[in-house]
Structure 1
């Protein structure tokens, strides 16, 4: 075989293989388009309309499955969490919603570096108002009425595990667009006395109503559960060693992550529940490290994220310390229940 013949044979082989590959891609895309479903080795995801005012009870979350809809808000029926997902086209790093109002923390990709913003969404996921965020998004919550939204970002650092970080937490009233852009400006009452410190950090708001909320306050190497008052602009300490609180639907208990004695420094937290009436702590059956703000699925079950194959999975465990953890949804983060 001459050199020219060998080159010609190689060229034909390359063209044939390229044609086969292109045909396979086009066939796959055609099938995907006909079905309206994308599945990249994970749960099936369908493009569709997502509403925050659902006829039935829905679970909405940040879709972490690899594919064209990664990081988009997606929804599934609450009683079928592993079913096909409906993707919205709206991307959020952190998200929460209640009463038809959503808060979506987004990255804005720039030529040199990313910036971040908090977006308030209506029930059709349309932008109502945007606010610049001072750093990497980490927590988000909406009040039960939908009238208040809160978010926390890392101004410096990217983990709560150490002490070398700074947070910024803001609350906005969606009726008047009054913005409290830094809760560190609130007056702190610690152990019954006014308190001031240069090292105060506040994060992880959870709302009781349109005036009262709970959050974490850190100072002097310690963390505290604080009760906040939006009208009075005060934060009052209630209990030590509480991070990322989440108020139960009946307003009587706080789910939170607690630094457990003897736990490694890089994985210090365990999931607990605090009775606000008696200040009694109950350890849940979840014994792994939890670096999340848990969500109450109902009055007895907690939902939280744990690192998984595609970034994060959602798990559940009973709030009373019984039972055992169960994986509920793969490839998902930042959940909210609607309806």
Structure 2
């Protein structure tokens, strides 16, 4: 019978895949030198937020394929992180609630050209925010020119200063952008023209921006939530650039300023002319009951032959709020 310690690394790594990095370290590190070597060579998912810095500092360096940080580590650990963690196998990072300077310091140590997934949100810190974020975005752009497929970033990483995007981001296929303006979204989409799936939380959608350079021929899935004001002209112009959309989810606030946002004939025209491949549509409209309380715009969609034929794959719901 083969002893567990005599298993080859490939089989040991399959066992480790079922365990967290903490469980691997607590269960096997220090038992035998055979296990110690296997653990240090195993490309682990290391969550610095849940792993003792002392273990990484004293027992490392450890191989890492995914680096997670959901709070700041000590300044000394950040400065010397490359001595405690081997990033040769790194493919993904997830940073939340850490200082911008810490994020930048770590990114400078990483093989950005090998990253396939980057998630970064709720970064903190004062000082020269624009300068720090510009340097962070420049490093993200390195990944976007190589193997990066998924990008999830929050406001500040996509900035209005177009010089921050040093080149196109051809490798990005899926992206999630949070708290971005419409101009930031347009700029990003012009650079990431191979997007297949996009999830966006936009602060507003009203800018009258030239979209002639915007081409999103690969985009098939779009989820767009607009937090404040929106313009039918701006929104429809953007959607007209997504000719291969199959799934569209919209959520926005209604304002009496722009009745066209609830114009069922205009939506029908947009779909028939520019979104002919659309197979699933979900529109959620929020409006206060005090705004035109006796008007029920969803009735217009229900009475339309076009929209009746599309149900239940096309759904338009208006939610009234007090």
Point out which structure has higher relative CO (alpha carbons under 8 A, 6+ apart).
Answer: 1
What TM-score do you get using the length of structure 1 for normalisation?
0.27
Of Structure 1 and Structure 2, which has the larger fraction of its residues in helix? 2
Tell me which structure has the larger Cα radius of gyration. Answer: 2
